[in-house]
Homo-oligomer: A and B are copies of this chain.
């Protein structure tokens, strides 16, 4: 059981939930999903697959190579499918607070077939984002973008604010329509 498992395992579970894939294809999908934000090394992916196989979350079947070298087609076991649903329904703290992990949760949240449970997860993220937080302080007072004479930090705040606003808007809308 993956009590302390990372974002990578969640992504593997998520992609395989839809359809069996071989490692190389999985790698491309993960790279598309998170690669431009947090790249994934091959030497991280393949050991993760082995770990998960050993844990009984997925099964491998060797297939003669359609294009080149032989492939290992990966299929989720029932345990694996349950594990994904469990991790989506009860994300741990880091899945909510770490942006990369959160976006991975979001990418597969539809697999949780229950609008109430989905809304509960979104609400946890909303609560986290609504906690007051700033980037830079002068003593105890948070500094606003306009107060910074450093153009780079000003940029940082501008970008973060745009992200935050987009996410908050979307969260509130979506929670509303899941409830309604």
Query: Which A residues are within 8 Å of any B CB, using their own CB?
Result: 29, 32-33, 35-39, 94, 97-100, 103, 106-110, 118, 128-129, 131, 133-137, 150-153, 155-156, 158-163, 165-167, 170-171, 174, 177
Contacts and interface: CB of A to CB of B under 8 A. Distances in A.
Nearest to A28: B137
Contact of A156 (B29, B94, B97, B107): B107
A15 to B, nearest CB: 10
Contacts of A33: 135-136
How many copies of the shown chain assemble into the complex?
A: 2
A133 B163 contact: no
Nearest to A98: B38
B170 A99 contact: no
A136 B106 CA distance: 13
A162 B166 contact: yes
Nearest to A153: B107
A115 to B, nearest CB: 10
B159 A32 contact: no
Contacts of A137: 29, 32
Nearest to A109: B152
Given A163-B163, A166-B162, A167-B159, A150 B110 contact: yes
Contacts of A108: 152
A150 to B, nearest CB: 5
A135 B118 CA distance: 21
Nearest to A104: B156
Given A33-B135, A97-B36, A137-B32, A174 B153 contact: no
A11 B151 CA distance: 18
Given A29-B137, A32-B137, A163-B163, 19 more contacts: A35-B133, A36-B97, A36-B131, A36-B133, A37-B98, A37-B99, A39-B94, A39-B97, A99-B99, A103-B156, A103-B160, A106-B155, A107-B135, A109-B152, A158-B170, A159-B170, A162-B162, A162-B165, A162-B166
